[in-house]
Chains A and B, each alone.
Chain A
Amino acid sequence: MEALKLDGVVKQFGEKTAVNRISLSVEPGEIYGLLGANGAGKTTTMRMVLGLIYPDDGKILYSGKAFNSELQQIMGYLPEERGLYPKVKVSDQIIYLARLRGMSSSDADKSLRYWLDRFDVPDYYNKKVEELSKGNQQKMGFIAAVVHKPRLLILDEAFSGLDPVNVELLKDTVRELRDQGTSILFSTHRMEHVEELCRHITIMDRSNTVVQGDIREIKKGYPREEVLLRTSSEVSGLETLPGVTGVQRQERGYLLTISEIAAAQRILQQAVGQSEVEHFEIKEPTLNQIFIKVVGGESNE
């Protein structure tokens, strides 16, 4: 059974529809990506999942059950604006939050120490949050979200504002949690993170679901439009081949845009005839391209 299932969920703020009929389901042990531009309705959707606000229409089910107060113990949440008490010691407030989520003090303490060691910052135990850098505050926020071993974790822009090393650290952690069976609803506008972590995604644009499904399936649905060619010497006449719409010289080869897949074969033949081909690739569209096409395209209309 799905760990989390949204069915036709609608949320309106006054006249404005913030979320329009979103449906999605997250399996146990899955990282589900929720993508969208700023103001697309991601955070509103997450808040509805958390029970902070109620949907105007539609259903949200947790392992088949409606929202209930027992969920407080199994949900973890990292809000976009890191929510921690600035003037309270890290240990005091994280243990407090864990206890509110139904953990005993000693278990919470153990778990907190585990996570601080894991992030290699055991000395933060006695520090106040305001003494930490922004990136480290975010790590503490992440610990606060996972300290009670939630089964459903909601991460709103978890990686924003972190340096690459810490992004990798958090990514590994998120993967590890997934492998332990945690279902994770994950929002971002950084596509490369989604491609690495998620199997299923939903792209939202101005309250509507525009693209949804398995990332590989989605990519198949979009034409392959780029060919990467690397040869030992120059190749001429590529521009004149039918179906080739653009040629871009790169450091050690060419990046060509094509209008039909058959053009790729013509490019290869042309290249083989003139030089030695070192690398030939028909690139599949990146999520970034799909996103820009779907979201950016519409807003250009």
Chain B
Amino acid sequence: MNKMGTIIGFTFKNKVKTKSFMITTLVLVLLLSIGMNIPYLIKVFQGDDEASAGIHVAVVAAEGSRASELLKNYASGVTTEGGATVDQYTSAEDSALKTSLDEGTLDGYIQLGAESETGLPPVTFYSPDGDMDAEVQTFLQLGLQQANAQLIAGDKLTPEQIGAMNAPVQLDTKQISTDGTAVTDEEKDEAPIINYVIVYALLMMFFMSIMMTGNMIAAEVTSEKSSRIMEILITSASPLAQMFGKVIGIFLIGMLQIAIIAAAVAANLMLPHNASILTDFDLDLGQLNVNLLIYGLVLYVLGYFLYALIYAAIGSIVSRTEDLGQAVMPITMLGLVTFYIPLFSISNADTLVVKVASYIPFTSPLSMLLRIGVGDVAFWEILVSLLILLVSIFVFGWLAAKIYRTGVLMYGKRPTIKEIRKAMKAYKI
């Protein structure tokens, strides 16, 4: 329809130019960019310390201390950046030790007491600032533990055996099938971690986008009503064309925003220093589920229209912008429920609540997205859910158009449901 195109164009053009849209988008992009670069930024700020990196501790112990020897041996095996060194001094009053501490070439020193058959006595770490780096702590903890084990075992165990003793036990889980045998790997397909990340990101993005664009639509309709331009508009184009024109125009705004944000995320990931983020988190873009993204888009579009139509209808009932906040409250609540059900179930997507929610029109877009992404869902289930969603869009679209046609000409106090129903009967759409 020609008029609808005009309305879509006008809505889009005017919204894109608004300061609120530009600022929100800019802030989102900025926050995301900062967030994604935080690990790198931290590295940059700590870079100076780590340049002289490595663990440098001193041991104050009697000449020929075995524990000290063992710790030195352990240090030579440490492969972290900068390596680790252990220097031995016989007294804490040693001047060489003092200068090293003052110059900062030493992180600190430990004092070792006499050794016995029952292992090491308690060890105290002394440092200029009175605390211990996490790195130093790990080093000392592991090194001293191994030294301790070696001391107790004496020559009965080789260092390799001691090392093996200290290695953590591997604990795996496997699901039992109904006949009691373990399920083979092929049957149990665990969703890759990247799916969780994507589902999480999509949930956040869709929720924010739908709420924001929904409120935009309601505010737009109410302001047209309160400025009385609505009377001219209604005499120029059918209310149905206006409502859908507006909903689609703002839909394009939402899509534009999502595209900008996605581009910002992609650009940040491309930065050379961020290349390691994905691998650090054990994410592989090759595992990226294209199906999930497509389903996500479909669900987003359908969910958007359902909410947008309701927001448009609410906007049409309210006469003044000040009353709008109160009027959209119920639908905002519904939006929150829709968002939090899948969010709280992200680690366990197959609960009954999520299953039920994935069929109810308003909650289904996000809950179904969760199930598709990280849960167990059959194709027919997705189909049924989409069908229910589609049908309800038509039902609510028709209802919203009726309310819209009636509401836009009702001024004064907010009409009661009874009044709306009565007036609705009078109008053809």
| A100 contacts chain B at the CB level, 8 A cutoff | yes
In the complex the two chains form, what is the Cα distance from A83 to B229 in whole Å?
A: 4
Specify which chain B residues have a CB less than 8 angstroms from the CB of A81 in the assembled complex. 228
Specify which chain A residues have a CB less than 8 angstroms from the CB of B7 in the assembled complex. 100
> Is B237 within 8 A of A100, CB to CB?
yes
> Is A83 within 8 A of B228, CB to CB?
yes
Instruction: Report B10 CB to chain A, min CB distance, Å.
Output: 5
Q: Of residues B10, B236, B427, which shows the largest number of chain A Cβ atoms within 10 Å of its Cβ?
A: B236
| A97 contacts chain B at the CB level, 8 A cutoff | yes
> Is B232 within 8 A of A96, CB to CB?
no
| B416 contacts chain A at the CB level, 8 A cutoff | no
Minimum CB distance partner of B235 in chain A: A50
Specify which chain B residues have a CB less than 8 angstroms from the CB of A144 in the assembled complex. 232
> Is A75 within 8 A of B238, CB to CB?
no
Specify which chain B residues have a CB less than 8 angstroms from the CB of A99 in the assembled complex. 6
Instruction: Give the residue of A54, A69, A79 whose beta carbon is less than 8 angstroms from that of B232.
Output: A79
In the complex the two chains form, what is the Cα distance from A88 to B228 in whole Å?
A: 14
> Is A77 within 8 A of B231, CB to CB?
yes
Q: Contacts A52-B231, A54-B427, A77-B232 hold; do A96 and B6 have CB atoms under 8 A apart?
A: yes
> Is A77 within 8 A of B238, CB to CB?
no
Specify which chain A residues have a CB less than 8 angstroms from the CB of B230 in the assembled complex. 83
Specify which chain A residues have a CB less than 8 angstroms from the CB of B233 in the assembled complex. 97, 100
How many A residues, CB 8 Å from partner?
26
| A86 contacts chain B at the CB level, 8 A cutoff | yes
> Is B10 within 8 A of A96, CB to CB?
yes
| B227 contacts chain A at the CB level, 8 A cutoff | yes
Specify which chain A residues have a CB less than 8 angstroms from the CB of B10 in the assembled complex. 92, 96
| B3 contacts chain A at the CB level, 8 A cutoff | yes
Specify which chain A residues have a CB less than 8 angstroms from the CB of B229 in the assembled complex. 83-85
Instruction: Report A38 CB to chain B, min CB distance, Å.
Output: 16
| A82 contacts chain B at the CB level, 8 A cutoff | yes
| B178 contacts chain A at the CB level, 8 A cutoff | no
In the complex the two chains form, what is the Cα distance from A77 to B3 in whole Å?
A: 18
Interface string of A50-76 (1 = CB under 8 A from B): 111110000000000000010010010
Instruction: Give the residue of A50, A77, A84 whose beta carbon is less than 8 angstroms from that of B227.
Output: A84
User: In the complex, which residues 204-242 of chain B have their Cβ closer than 8 Å to any Cβ of chain A?
Assistant: 223-224, 227-238
> Is B228 within 8 A of A79, CB to CB?
yes
User: In the complex, which residues 225-283 of chain B have their Cβ closer than 8 Å to any Cβ of chain A?
Assistant: 227-238
| A101 contacts chain B at the CB level, 8 A cutoff | yes
> Is B235 within 8 A of A72, CB to CB?
yes
Specify which chain A residues have a CB less than 8 angstroms from the CB of B3 in the assembled complex. 100
Interface string of A110-152 (1 = CB under 8 A from B): 0000000000000000000000000000000000110000000
> Is B227 within 8 A of A86, CB to CB?
yes
In the complex the two chains form, what is the Cα distance from A69 to B236 in whole Å?
A: 9
Interface string of A265-299 (1 = CB under 8 A from B): 00000000000000000000000000000000000
Specify which chain B residues have a CB less than 8 angstroms from the CB of A51 in the assembled complex. 235
Interface string of B150-185 (1 = CB under 8 A from A): 000000000000000000000000000000000000
User: In the complex, which residues 379-421 of chain B have their Cβ closer than 8 Å to any Cβ of chain A?
Assistant: 409
> Is B227 within 8 A of A52, CB to CB?
no
| B426 contacts chain A at the CB level, 8 A cutoff | yes
In the complex the two chains form, what is the Cα distance from A247 to B394 in whole Å?
A: 76
In the complex the two chains form, what is the Cα distance from A38 to B75 in whole Å?
A: 96
Instruction: Give the residue of A72, A77, A82 whose beta carbon is less than 8 angstroms from that of B237.
Output: A72
| B14 contacts chain A at the CB level, 8 A cutoff | yes
Specify which chain B residues have a CB less than 8 angstroms from the CB of A82 in the assembled complex. 228
Q: Contacts A69-B238, A72-B235, A97-B236 hold; do A52 and B409 have CB atoms under 8 A apart?
A: yes
Instruction: Give the residue of B13, B235, B237 whose beta carbon is less than 8 angstroms from that of A52.
Output: B235
Could you tell me which A residues sit within 8 Å of B by CB distance?
47, 50-54, 69, 72, 75, 77, 79, 81-86, 88, 92, 96-97, 99-101, 144-145
- Given pairs A75-B235, A85-B223, 4 additional interface contacts (CB within 8 A): A50-B235, A52-B231, A83-B228, A100-B237
- Top 6 A-B residue pairs of the complex, sorted by shortest distance between their CB atoms: A83-B229, A100-B236, A83-B228, A81-B228, A96-B10, A79-B231
